[in-house]
């Protein structure tokens, strides 16, 4: 198991190095999408 963990460590480390840039972007996109859907629903109600 330790060998497998060491083998999977580099990819997860690389993903962790890329996450700080991807996480805010994805959260921003999801928040924008939810705001857009909310405004569209309100617009349809009007």
pLDDT at 44: 83
Question: How far is it, in rounded angstroms, from Cα 27 to Cα 15?
Answer: 17
- Whole-prediction pTM: 0.42
pLDDT, residue 45, reads 78
pLDDT at 35: 95
**Secondary structure of the chain as H, E, C letters:** CHHHHHHHHHHHHHHHHHHHHHHHHHHHHHHHHHHHHHHHHHHHHC
Residues spanned by the domain of 31: 1-46
pLDDT tens string, the chain, 46 residues long: the values are: 555 555 555 555 555 555 555 677 888 899 999 999 999 999 887 7
Counted domains in the chain: 1
Give the pLDDT of residue 5: 53
């Amino acid at each position: 198991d330790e060998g497998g963990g060491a083998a999977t460590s580099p990819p997860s480390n690389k993903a962790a190095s890329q996450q700080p840039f991807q996480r805010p972007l994805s959260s921003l996109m999801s928040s924008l999408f939810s705001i857009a859907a909310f405004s569209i629903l309100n617009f349809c109600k009007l």
